[in-house]
Chain A
Amino acid sequence: MTTRNWLAPLTTAGALATALAALAADPVPSPVDNPVGKYDDYEMIIQVDVPLRGTLRHVYVDKVSAAEARRTGQLPDGTKIVMRDFVGVPDGQGGWKTENHRLVAGKPVVVLIQQKRKGWGTTHPPEIRNGEWEYGLFTPDGKPIPINTEQACMGCHKLVEKTDHTYIVHSYFADRAR
């Protein structure tokens, strides 16, 4: 593996964190919970591989909400979706180690949370507001990373209002509740 190949995901992850941090932080601090160190309260539901650049994401939902979502097909009030991003593990042959054809998690990069609670979201203008969802970003060891969630998160998630502002998590539960 070339040095360039090996460094690419780390550079990518660094660029992501830097780019997000460079955005002016939210004027009102995000009210989301810090999930770092509390992963026993969550269950992992989806792995998202980014094989062309060797990074991956583990997607979790808090256990209480996951149980209800499996029954109803909807993400209930209080849902916390946590995304832990990792760099893959080099396989020594220019690629990335896999298990069952899925990338193996190496160095943790960043932790993101998408959380909703009754009454949240009112500080955002209607054209950007994601219902009652709020977002937050943390280092792997739990330090908050100040970001402008309207620019970094809500713009894209606004596009998927029909699936409760999520790209795959709502579908994951809706499919199972049928």
Chain B
Amino acid sequence: MRRLAPFLVLALLGWPPLTTRAADVALTIDGQKFSAATVRMKGGDRLVVENRSQENHFIYGHSGGYAFDYRATESNTATHKPGERYGIPMHVPGTYRLGCALHPAMHATVTVEE
């Protein structure tokens, strides 16, 4: 028991810290709309976008001097065909405007916290 005491003390003090597992934050596309107008997530979480519509979409996001898009294949004309689902880990904090290059009226705001 004496040998275990230092470890018990450390555990009570919260060391080693429990690692927080990155989560998947889902956003779906129905028709020409995102399922939510605003999304909040923690740095490192994955922003997973699923296309439940019947048409192609080209999803991209930008915040100041950093931007990204969801192209996963050789195609440059769409990132999401009907039924496709892709996730990107969001590490860079900021407030992103998410849009579709093929449907400029589609918008969502994604906030990535530190």
**Residues in chain A within 8 A of chain B (CB atoms):** 8, 11-12, 15-16, 19, 45-53, 55, 100-102, 156, 159-160, 162, 167-168, 171-172, 175
Q: Total interface residues on B, using CB and 8 Å?
A: 24
Contact of A167 among B60, B64, B76 (CB under 8 A): B60
Determine if B65 and A51 form an interchain contact, defined as CB atoms under 8 angstroms apart.
no
CA distance A12 to B73 in the complex (A): 7
Query: In the assembled complex, how far is the CB of residue A110 from the closest CB belonging to chain B, in whole angstroms?
Result: 11
Indicate whether A102 sits within 8 Å of B67 (C-beta atoms), given known contacts A52-B72, A168-B62, A171-B62: no
Is B15 an interface residue, CB under 8 A from the partner?
Answer: no
Is B114 an interface residue, CB under 8 A from the partner?
Answer: no
Determine if A160 and B88 form an interchain contact, defined as CB atoms under 8 angstroms apart.
no
Is B101 an interface residue, CB under 8 A from the partner?
Answer: yes
Contact of B67 among A15, A160, A162, A168 (CB under 8 A): A168
Determine if B69 and A50 form an interchain contact, defined as CB atoms under 8 angstroms apart.
yes
A-contact bits for B86-114, CB 8 A (1 contact / 0 none): 10110110000101011010000000000
A-contact bits for B31-62, CB 8 A (1 contact / 0 none): 00000000000000000000000000000101
Complex: chain B residue closest to A55, CB-CB: B71
Determine if B104 and A162 form an interchain contact, defined as CB atoms under 8 angstroms apart.
yes
Determine if A15 and B65 form an interchain contact, defined as CB atoms under 8 angstroms apart.
no
Contact of A102 among B74, B92, B102 (CB under 8 A): B92
Determine if A50 and B66 form an interchain contact, defined as CB atoms under 8 angstroms apart.
no
Is B68 an interface residue, CB under 8 A from the partner?
Answer: yes
Known: A48-B69, A52-B70, A168-B60. 13 other contacts (CB 8 A): A8-B74, A11-B74, A45-B65, A46-B66, A50-B71, A52-B71, A55-B71, A101-B91, A101-B92, A102-B66, A171-B97, A172-B64, A172-B65
Indicate whether A46 sits within 8 Å of B97 (C-beta atoms), given known contacts A11-B74, A159-B102, A171-B62: no
CA distance A8 to B97 in the complex (A): 28
Complex: chain A residue closest to B92, CB-CB: A101
Determine if B65 and A49 form an interchain contact, defined as CB atoms under 8 angstroms apart.
no
CA distance A17 to B66 in the complex (A): 24
Indicate whether A15 sits within 8 Å of B74 (C-beta atoms), given known contacts A46-B62, A167-B60: yes
CA distance A159 to B64 in the complex (A): 22
Complex: chain B residue closest to A13, CB-CB: B74
Contact of A48 among B67, B74, B97 (CB under 8 A): B67
